[in-house]
């Protein structure tokens, strides 16, 4: 499953270090080459020798101990890795990484590597819920790091709650899935167009009408399409997110600009995913000069924007058309209606009142509805993970029909 994959395991100091030994064993059994870097605190729990024996490789912990004079160890390890996994990740290493601190071998490698970095936190339940830790994790999500959420249960400190390092078998399975999905490249040669974020509808040179969409789900869909081999084109409203590597981006502001950009990319697209929260209305009149306030109330007259997704549905040929619907009540019923009225192949519906998802959140809880009437619910999970799962399910359901698109 992991043949010839280079996994760099960064072990930081918590009681769950003993589970990291089992993780090295599982990863090696799955065929991976594993190298281990430890912090000083991690060494207080388990001797480096245990990791050396399990990985059959040297264990690293001192930035200044250069074992091979031909290379600089921390850069060499950072470049060697296909994937870096921090497990267990303490509140301390999460805080350092979120703030760009590199004061030991682990944190220096984390800043030097260009490989994907996965973080598997393990700590006391109250530490995990501390505002500083929550803030740092949110920052790292925003910076593109992937988290393997800790599970709930008995913690070594005596508390029961969220904070246990995910089981080594599960971490190994997730890593295996990651490499097999991206290795298969089921979307190779396909153009996938994704829209993301809000639109802004101008009132005058200094004001606009918009919504709270963060663009995170759309950006995750674009990254997933690219990882699955597609030529991903992301048409983005104004958001504050880094463009996933390998994805072509076209920035737009208004619904009208998004309409033009999407139609421009439509004819040769195989899949179109409309995750953008397009404004349904725009001001009827856009003032050239800043509107001055007057005594008393004012009324802003709005007109409908074009429903981009419906226009795409009306002129659909080979394209697989996927819409999104954010609802607060009767989620499935409204989702089905939109799927039919806009002539979609799939719609991804979510209840934005669910605490596990919605605008701005890093996680989402959705149900995928197909035109054939199939409903596939997904548990709360990180948006980047969810995006891969959604494409996987759609690819599976389309199976042999996808190559005609």
Binding interface with ligand CTP (CB under 6 A): 255, 274, 276, 278, 280, 305, 307-309, 323-326, 338
Nearer to ligand CTP (CB atom), residue 15 or residue 203: 203
The torsion of the CA quartet 388, 392, 394, 395, rounded to 10 degrees, works out to 130
Shortest separation between residue 338's beta carbon and ligand CTP, angstroms: 5
Options 129, 132, 157, 285, the catalytic residue: 157
Nearer to ligand CTP (CB atom), residue 116 or residue 354: 354
Residue in this structure with the two tokens 């969409």, named with its chain if needed? 213
Residue in this structure with the two tokens 């993970």, named with its chain if needed? 385
157 is catalytic: yes
Shortest separation between residue 207's beta carbon and ligand CTP, angstroms: 20
Residues 105-132 as b/e (b if ≥16 CB within 10 A, e otherwise) read bbbbbbeebebbbbbbbbbbbebbeeee
Q: What is the CA radius of gyration of the chain?
A: 24
Shortest separation between residue 371's beta carbon and ligand CTP, angstroms: 15
Shortest separation between residue 151's beta carbon and ligand CTP, angstroms: 33
Residue 59 parent element (H or E): strand 59-60
The pair of structure tokens assigned to 199 is: 């639109």
Q: How far apart are CA 233 and CA 256, in angstroms?
A: 18
Cα distances (Å, whole numbers) of residue 232 to 92, 130, 249, 257, 351:
36, 37, 9, 19, 27
- Phi/psi of residue 274, each to 5°? -105, 85
Nearer to ligand CTP (CB atom), residue 109 or residue 255: 255
Nearer to ligand CTP (CB atom), residue 179 or residue 324: 324
Nearer to ligand CTP (CB atom), residue 193 or residue 278: 278
**Contact partners, residue 329, CB within 8 Å, separation at least 6:** none
Shortest separation between residue 310's beta carbon and ligand CTP, angstroms: 7
Shortest separation between residue 341's beta carbon and ligand CTP, angstroms: 8
Helices 168-184 + 17-29 axis angle, to 10: 40
- Phi/psi of residue 187, each to 5°? -105, 15
Residue 148 parent element (H or E): none
Q: Report, as residue numbers or ranges, the catalytic residues.
A: 157
């Amino acid at each position: 499953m992991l043949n010839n994959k280079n996994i760099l395991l960064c072990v930081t100091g918590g009681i769950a270090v003993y589970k990291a030994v089992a993780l090295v064993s599982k990863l090696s059994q799955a065929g991976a080459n594993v190298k281990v870097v430890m912090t000083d605190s991690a060494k207080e729990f388990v001797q480096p020798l245990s990791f050396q024996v399990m990985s059959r490789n040297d264990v690293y912990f001192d930035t200044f101990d250069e074992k091979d004079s031909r290379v600089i160890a921390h850069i060499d390890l950072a470049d060697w890795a296909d994937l870096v996994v921090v497990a267990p990740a303490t509140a301390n290493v999460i805080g350092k990484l979120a703030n760009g601190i590199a004061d030991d071998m682990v944190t220096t490698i984390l800043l030097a590597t260009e490989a994907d970095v996965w973080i598997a936190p393990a700590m006391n339940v109250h530490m995990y819920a501390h505002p500083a830790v929550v803030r740092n994790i949110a920052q790292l999500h925003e910076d593109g790091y992937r988290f393997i959420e800790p599970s709930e249960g008995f913690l070594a400190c005596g508390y029961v709650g969220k904070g246990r390092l995910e089981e080594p078998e599960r971490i190994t399975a997730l890593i295996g899935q990651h490499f097999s999905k991206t290795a298969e490249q089921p979307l190779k040669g396909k153009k996938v167009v994704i829209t993301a974020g809000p639109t802004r509808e101008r009132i005058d040179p200094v004001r606009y009408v918009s919504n709270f969409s963060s663009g995170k789900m759309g950006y995750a869909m674009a990254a997933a399409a690219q990882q699955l081999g597609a030529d991903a084109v992301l048409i983005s409203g104004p958001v504050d997110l880094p463009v996933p590597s390998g994805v072509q981006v076209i920035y737009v502001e208004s619904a009208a600009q998004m309409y033009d950009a999407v139609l421009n990319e439509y004819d040769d697209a195989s899949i179109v995913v409309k995750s953008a929260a397009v404004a349904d209305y725009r001001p009827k009149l856009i003032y050239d000069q800043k509107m001055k306030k007057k005594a008393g109330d004012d009324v802003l007259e709005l007109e409908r924007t074009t429903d981009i997704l419906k226009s795409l549905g009306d002129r659909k040929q080979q394209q697989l058309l996927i819409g999104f619907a954010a609802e607060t009540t009767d989620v499935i019923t409204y989702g089905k209606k939109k799927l039919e009225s806009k002539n979609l192949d799939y719609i991804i519906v979510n209840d934005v009142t669910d605490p596990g998802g919605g605008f701005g959140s890093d996680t989402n809880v959705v149900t995928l509805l197909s035109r054939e009437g199939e409903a596939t619910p997904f548990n709360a999970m990180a948006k980047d993970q969810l995006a891969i799962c959604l494409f996987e399910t759609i690819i599976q359901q389309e199976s042999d029909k996808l190559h005609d698109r």
